[in-house]
């Protein structure tokens, strides 16, 4: 069995490798070569923690396994560890024997950023120049860094519920050599691409804040009750997602579905666009929206890549198990 500790991931995994792994598994999901298992998420009644499992099997990439972990809200203050903790376990699909144990914390941020990047590549207008960000927390910086590699962006604009966090976005924009401007939500009309990644339970971005032709990646809503954008925006947009079942139950589409504004058949798999079986964006004025809920197969895909890189670079720890 191979162990790749969390401390090794940053030096091993690149944004390009994460992009390819996530794009490949989205394509495999759409062609039914890969499927996710039902998600388990439990409030365990200890330390206010939420713990769960996301797993799946990708027959195309031969990745079988599970990401186990969750959210321990007091970790930082009590123990000096980050609050989100996860580990990926990979199994041999031929034998069921455990193959690898991989630190999942940084990988989660990289695979989540890769998902919105895949959506930008396939759904944003090619002449997109203004990148808009809603959210400025831990994930937002990964999202922005990856997104800026998907186009010829000239400017970043940002809004956050807690404005004191906006310098996090400015730093990433500056590193990429781009100007950053803090805006009000109605200023988002200038953006050609918008990523929202917050932990909000009420919408910030309203349908009227968005201009025709914009691509929006909603990445924060991954639980029942969370919401980042007005449900009416989904009715105005062509909606894509990683996994339809998750989108309509725990993703952004849960609200538009509940309000009767869209139907399940209005939500399309991004993998179908990658595979060329869905045409994706069809006009310059169309609003496209990617509801990125986060699936276990993304975790397995990036973990499998990390194991390959760790073995190649001689940093994999092998244990007899
Ligand atoms: P974080 O705590 O670092 O940042 C939270 C962000 O949400 C900040 O920008 C904060 O200002 C904002 N926010 C807090 N309360 C708000 C409110 N009431 N209204 C609007 N904005 C508010 O968290 P993070 O690690 O960056 O995660 C952000 C979200 O992304 C979480 O909801 C997390 O569950 C989700 N997430 C999704 C995926 C996926 O695959 N889709 C993966 C990882 C994390």
Q: Is residue 294 within 6 Å of ligand 1 at its C-beta?
A: yes
pLDDT tens-digit map of 104-136? 999 999 999 999 999 999 999 999 999 999 999
Residue 226 has a pLDDT of 95
Long-range contacts of 175-178 (CB under 8 A, 24+ apart): 175/145, 176/145, 176/148, 178/131, 178/148, 178/153, 178/154
C-alpha to C-alpha distance for 308 and 173, rounded to whole angstroms? 32
Q: How many CA atoms lie within 13 A of 219 on its CB side?
A: 33
Q: Is the pLDDT of residue 85 over 90?
A: yes
Most informative mutation of 203, 220, 300 for ligand 1 (most atoms within 8 A of CB): 220
3 state SS of 168: helix
CA of 95 to the centre of ligand 1 (A): 38
At residue 306's C-alpha, the angle toward residues 36 and 194, to 5°, is 65
Angle, helix 296-312 to helix 105-123, in steps of 10 degrees: 110
**Phi and psi, residue 250, nearest 5°:** -125, -5
pLDDT tens-digit map of 268-310? 999 999 999 999 999 999 999 999 999 999 999 999 999 999 9
**Going along the chain, which residue ranges are E strands?**
2-4, 34-36, 40-43, 50-58, 63-71, 84-91, 98-103, 130-134, 155-159, 180-182, 193-196, 201-205, 215-218, 227-229, 238-241, 267-269, 288-291, 317-318
pTM confidence score: 0.97
Q: Is the pLDDT of residue 151 over 90?
A: no
pLDDT tens-digit map of 43-78? 999 999 999 999 999 999 999 999 999 999 999 899
108, 3, 1: which is closest to 54 by C-alpha? 108
Residue 67 is among the residues annotated as catalytic for this protein: yes
Residue 242 · residue 270 · CB < 8 Å: yes
Residue 248 · residue 267 · CB < 8 Å: yes
Catalytic residue among 32, 54, 59, 67: 67
**Going along 2-74, which residue ranges are E strands?**
2-4, 34-36, 40-43, 50-58, 63-71
Q: How big is the chain, counted in residues?
A: 321
Most informative mutation of 135, 229, 301, 302 for ligand 1 (most atoms within 8 A of CB): 135
Q: Catalogue all structural domains in the chain, each as residue range(s) with its CATH number.
A: 2-108+297-318 (3.30.1780.10), 114-294 (3.40.50.720)
Instruction: Output DSSP code: residue 20.
Output: H
Residue with the smallest CA separation from ligand 1 atom 12 is 198
CA of 229 to the centre of ligand 1 (A): 13
């Amino acid at each position: 069995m191979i162990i790749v500790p969390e401390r090794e991931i940053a030096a091993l995994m690149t944004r390009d490798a994460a992009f390819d792994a996530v794009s490949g598994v989205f394509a495999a999901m759409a062609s039914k070569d890969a499927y996710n298992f039902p998600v388990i998420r439990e409030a365990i009644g200890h330390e206010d923690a939420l713990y769960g499992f996301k797993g799946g099997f990708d027959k195309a990439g031969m990745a079988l396994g599970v990401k186990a972990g969750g959210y321990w809200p007091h970790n930082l203050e009590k123990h000096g560890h980050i609050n989100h903790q996860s580990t990926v376990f990979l199994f041999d699909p031929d034998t069921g024997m455990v193959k690898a144990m991989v630190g999942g914390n940084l990988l989660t941020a990289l695979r989540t950023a890769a998902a919105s990047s895949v959506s930008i590549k396939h759904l944003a207008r090619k002449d997109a120049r203004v990148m808009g960000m809603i959210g400025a927390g831990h994930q937002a910086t990964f999202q922005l860094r990856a997104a800026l590699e998907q186009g010829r962006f000239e400017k970043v604009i940002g809004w956050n519920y807690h404005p004191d966090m906006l310098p996090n976005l400015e730093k990433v924009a500056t590193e990429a050599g781009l100007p950053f401007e803090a805006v009000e939500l109605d200023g988002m009309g200038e953006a050609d691409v918008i990523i929202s990644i917050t932990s909000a339970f009420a919408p910030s971005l309203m349908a009227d804040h968005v201009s025709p032709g914009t691509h929006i990646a909603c990445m924060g809503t991954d639980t029942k009750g969370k919401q980042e954008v007005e449900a009416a925006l989904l009715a105005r947009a062509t909606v894509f997602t990683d996994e339809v079942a998750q989108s309509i139950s725990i993703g952004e589409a849960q609200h538009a579905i509940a309000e009767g504004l869209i139907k399940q058949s209005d939500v399309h798999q991004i993998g179908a666009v990658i595979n060329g079986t869905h045409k994706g964006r069809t006009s310059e004025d169309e609003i496209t929206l990617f509801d990125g809920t986060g699936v276990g197969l993304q975790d397995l895909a990036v973990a499998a890549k990390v194991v390959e890189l760790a073995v190649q670079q001689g940093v994999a720890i092998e244990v007899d198990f």
